[in-house]
């Protein structure tokens, strides 16, 4: 009997694009239930980011994606260990731009760094739109 596998990933998910969707799809394929810890506007400030869409707007969009089962707030760098334990997470997944940054979670769950999708990013979208003007 295969164990019910819970997966978690973290991110800002601003200006939702197909690179984000591919990450979420692959993360879901690693288990049965996918939690997304979504960076709050305040946490984005800590990450030096200012999202175009508010937390509520980004949350609503993520909740509409078939691969996503639950969206929770990410408001601190230190919440991952607690999240993994409280939510009984089996796998932590994130893009390989974070390679090695979250290996401390290996004491609690599997840690998977996924290859990023080339050719798309929120930054690229903003830059390309600037050039259209």
- Asked if 97 interacts with ligand C2G (CB under 6 A), we say yes
Contact 93, 30 (CB under 8 A): yes
Nearest CA among 42, 118, 36 for reference residue 69: 36
State which of residues 5, 16, 19, 67 lies at the interface with ligand C2G (CB under 6 A): 19
**Can 28 be counted among the known catalytic residues?**
no
Tokens for 39?
A: 């960076």
19/33 with CB nearer ligand C2G: 19
**Can 91 be counted among the known catalytic residues?**
no
State which of residues 6, 12, 55, 109 lies at the interface with ligand C2G (CB under 6 A): 12
- Residue found under tokens 């089996």: 90
| Dist. CA 121–CA 133, nearest whole Å | 19
| Dist. CA 30–CA 92, nearest whole Å | 10
- Asked if 23 interacts with ligand C2G (CB under 6 A), we say yes
- Asked if 74 interacts with ligand C2G (CB under 6 A), we say yes
Query: Which residues are at the interface with ligand C2G (CB under 6 A)?
Result: 9-13, 19-20, 23, 39, 47, 74, 94-95, 97, 116-117, 120-121
């Amino acid at each position: 009997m295969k164990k019910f596998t819970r997966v978690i990933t973290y991110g800002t998910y601003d200006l939702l694009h197909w690179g984000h969707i591919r990450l979420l799809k692959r993360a879901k394929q690693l288990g049965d239930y996918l939690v997304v810890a979504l960076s709050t506007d305040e946490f984005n400030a800590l990450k030096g980011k200012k999202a175009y869409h508010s937390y509520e707007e980004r949350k609503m969009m993520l909740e509409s994606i078939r691969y996503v089962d639950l969206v929770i707030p990410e408001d601190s760098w230190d919440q991952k260990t607690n999240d993994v334990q409280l939510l009984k997470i089996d796998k932590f997944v994130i893009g390989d731009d974070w390679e090695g940054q979250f290996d401390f979670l290996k004491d609690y769950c599997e840690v998977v760094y996924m290859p990023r999708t080339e050719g798309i990013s929120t930054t690229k979208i903003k830059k390309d739109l600037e050039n259209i003007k």
